[in-house]
Amino acid sequence: MANTLAENDIVVIRDTNISAFLLCLEEVRLVKTERNQGTVLFYFSPKETVERSISAYYSDSATAIQPRKLFGAQRDLKNLIFSEG
């Protein structure tokens, strides 16, 4: 398996709440972060799983996540946001 991902297998998210939710999922991977005009973008893969998970998030049918895991993911994202210059 190659170390690089095809751009068509990545979903770009800027919402930190959804990103924290996705970060908690074992089947989803945070590929990279990027600053774009003062906004931090989070790149997740694989696209199909990310899109299905986001749909479940918005329809209130997502798998329950332990609060400590979710808040830890939020903290980790904030660290990424504020550590990038």
Q: What is the pLDDT of residues 31-85, one digit of tens each?
A: 999 987 888 999 999 999 999 999 999 999 998 999 999 999 999 999 988 875 5
The string of pLDDT tens digits covering residues 15-36 is: 999 999 999 999 999 999 998 7
For 36-45, give one letter per residue: b (16+ CB within 10 A) or e. Answer: eeeebebbbb
CA dihedral 65, 66, 70, 71 (to 10 degrees): 160
Which pLDDT value is given to residue 2? Answer: 44
Query: Which range of residues forms the domain containing residue 53?
Result: 7-83
pLDDT of residue 4: 54
Q: How many domains does the chain divide into?
A: 1
Residue 23 and residue 64: Cα distance in Å, rounded?
13
What pTM does this model have?
0.85
Q: Which residues pair with 43 in a beta bridge?
A: 12, 32
Confidence (pLDDT) at 55: 97
Residue 2: inside a domain? no
Q: Tell me if 1 is assigned to some domain.
A: no
In a domain, 75, yes or no: yes
